[in-house]
Amino acid sequence: MKFCKDCRYARVVFTERWECDHPSARVVPSIDLVTGQTGAPWQASCEFARSFRRSMCGPEGAFWEPREIGFGKPDDE
């Protein structure tokens, strides 16, 4: 099974929140048709990215890659 905690794109932010650094997990809000403004882009949480089948990782872990331990990126980063 592909767990986010074992993926090279997953990282812990704040205390217990996991965030996905994969480019597909970057959320760019659409333009507000009333004001013409857009919100700031943000990285989706791992939970959010795994909840959607379209364009993000989805339940099957489509963009999952194994974490590289000992090759420049610490395991607990």
Evaluated on CA atoms 3, 8, 54, 19, the torsion sign reads: positive
Give the pairing type, strands 26-27 and 10-13. Answer: unpaired
Do the beta carbons of residue 31 and residue 37 sit within 8 Å?
Answer: yes
DSSP H or E segment with residue 26? strand 26-27
Taking only the tens place, the pLDDT of each residue in 11-27 is 998 878 899 999 999 98
Does residue 75 have a pLDDT over 80? no
pLDDT band (50, 70, 90) for residue 72: low
What percent of the chain clears pLDDT 70, i.e. is strictly above it? 88
